[in-house]
Structure 1
Amino acid sequence: MDISLLGLYLLFVSVLFLLLVPTAESTILLWACLYRLEICPFRTTTTGSG
């Protein structure tokens, strides 16, 4: 087995575990709001007055 393939598998398993953790959803929503993505539930349609 190639060492890069093993690293890819470990990365895949760690991302899978991250998504299975109950707090992963809130973490994803936090990053979505920080980057002002469309999936942020706290995003409003008003624009800033600046």
Structure 2
Amino acid sequence: MNSTTLLIYTLLVSMLLLLQAPAGESTFLLIACLYRLNICPFRTTTTTVGTTSSR
């Protein structure tokens, strides 16, 4: 099975759960956070920048 096909099927199942039960919303958000999508509420906007110190 292709990985993109698996992703599409997973998203379809999560959308069906979202429409069927209120608990499905948390499943959809969990999948969104696992795939690091922009709609994940736990995704931070800060980035870590490495600093170089010269003496």
Q: TM-score, normalised by structure 1?
A: 0.55
Q: Which runs of 5+ in 2 are unaligned?
A: 1-14, 51-55
Work out the percentage of aligned pairs sharing the same amino acid: 71
Query: For residue 35 of structure 1, what is the aligned residue in structure 2?
Result: 35
The CA RMSD over aligned residues, in Å, is 2.0
C-alpha displacement at 1:39, in angstroms? 0.4
Corresponding pairs, count: 35
Q: TM-score, normalised by structure 2?
A: 0.51
Query: For residue 10 of structure 1, what is the aligned residue in structure 2?
Result: none
User: Structure 1 or 2: larger helix share?
Assistant: 1
Query: For residue 20 of structure 2, what is the aligned residue in structure 1?
Result: 20
Q: Which runs of 5+ in 1 are unaligned?
A: 1-14
Q: Which runs of 4+ in 1 moved over 6 A?
A: none
Query: For residue 44 of structure 1, what is the aligned residue in structure 2?
Result: 44
